[in-house]
Amino acid sequence: MSKFDFGTFYGEQAPIFAVSRRFSREEADHIYTEEIGDSPQVCHVVNGYVHFGFGVDDFGEKQHGWWLAYGEPQKRTHVPVYIYKLKGEP
């Protein structure tokens, strides 16, 4: 079982926040409020997944850690998440 609960991801126009779907949507909203300090109403929420692995970040640096992707998980190692994106961001 993965150890991912929630985290902030960078590399887009604005930081985005992801919460594991093992929490209910209400619990995820509460986590967002506690961690970010803002209301989840300023965001729209989409489904995605995270996976732990190696890759190259937006600056060309090799990294290992949690990587965020949109859509439904394709492998058992993918952890489904709620993705909180600020309204108005692509």
Stretch 11-36: mean pLDDT, rounded?
A: 89
Residue 89 has pLDDT above 70, yes or no: no
Residue 15 has pLDDT above 90, yes or no: no
What is the band of 90 on the pLDDT scale with cuts at 50, 70, 90?
low
The tens digit of pLDDT for each residue in 25-62 reads 999 999 999 999 889 999 999 999 999 999 888 788 89
Residue 26: φ, ψ to 5°: -65, -45
Q: What six digits make up the tokens of 63?
A: 């990294």
HSE toward the beta carbon, residue 55, CA cutoff 13 A: 11
